[in-house]
Structure 1
């Protein structure tokens, strides 16, 4: 049974009803509607912490979805799952695919920076200075790009760039 038919809380039921109504009235083909249904079920599973099920639904949505921007959002959610599962390398690779499809997603750049910063902190704790410096430099690069796209966001990242000396003055304006 599709997840959309077994949602048991009010918010999920309301979202499902609204999504189904939108799907019925949208002037789009059957394949795109089916892709959206899988995407919706993937988001629902992801929200419930059912990551394997979410990835299965996202995989199905990717098989059906042709629109590059929609594919980017599917891949973005997959990268979030990979990150939650601790598969940082796969998450980074998936975020790179997201940016190939939609270069205007500062949230993907931010998430890549967060992963690199996390891995840099772990390397620092291990005493691996070269690895931590490399990861922190990558974090700074991705945060700089994200901040340039969305200057009013990522305040903590802006503060880290300033205090760590890894940012340039032109990032903040």
Structure 2
């Protein structure tokens, strides 16, 4: 039984029914519809903390999906799982691939910056100031890109950029 048929609460069931109706009437090919089902099941599994199952669904959705924009969100969600499991390099790879397909995916740019910032702080704690500065510099670069796309988001990052002198942008609100 597909995951979407196992939903317990009213909102999930309602969403599933609506998504199924939309899926039937969408003017798209069968392959894209199949990819969407796997993507939806991946999101459901991810929300339930079933990361292995979510990744399996995302991988199948990625195999089927041909649209770069849609593929970018699949890769982004895979990156979220890897990051939450502490697999930062794998997460970065997914985020980079997502941004390559969708350069305006500011969430992925932000998450790249978050990982670099974390790694920069860890390097500083270990006493490696050269590596720390390089990583924090990368974090700043990616946060600036994300903020240019969504200037009202990432307020904490904007404050960090300003207080550390890493950005002179006047797009802050």
- The equivalences for 1:13-162 within 5 A come to 13-162=13-162
Q: Which secondary structure does the structure 1 equivalent of 2:166 belong to?
A: coil
In the alignment, the residues of structure 2 paired with residue 169 and residue 49 of structure 1 have an alpha-carbon distance, to the nearest angstrom, of 38
Gaps of 5+ in 2: none
Contact 1:144–1:171 (8 Å) recurs in 2: no
Any idea what SS the aligned residue of 1:7 has?
coil
> Are residue 11 (structure 1) and residue 11 (structure 2) matched?
yes
TM-score, normalised to structure 2, is: 0.95
Bigger shift: residues 7-16 or 72-81: 7-16
Instruction: Note the residue ranges of structure 1 that are not aligned, 5 or more in a row.
Output: none
> Normalising to structure 1: TM-score of the pair?
0.95
> 1:72·1:102 contact (CA, 8 Å) conserved in 2?
yes
What CA distance in whole angstroms lies between the structure 2 residues aligned with 1:74 and 1:113? 19
- Distance in 1 of aligned mates of 2:133 and 2:70: 35
Deviation of 1:11 (Å): 2.2
Q: Deviations over 1:15-48 (max 9, x none)?
A: 1111101101111111111100000000000001
Alpha-carbon separation, structure 2, partners of 1:49 and 1:73: 18
Q: How many residues align?
A: 173
Instruction: Point out the more displaced range, 6-15 or 130-139.
Output: 6-15
Deviation at 1:171, TM superposition (A): 5.1
Distance in structure 2 (CA, Å) of the matches to 1:29 and 1:146: 33
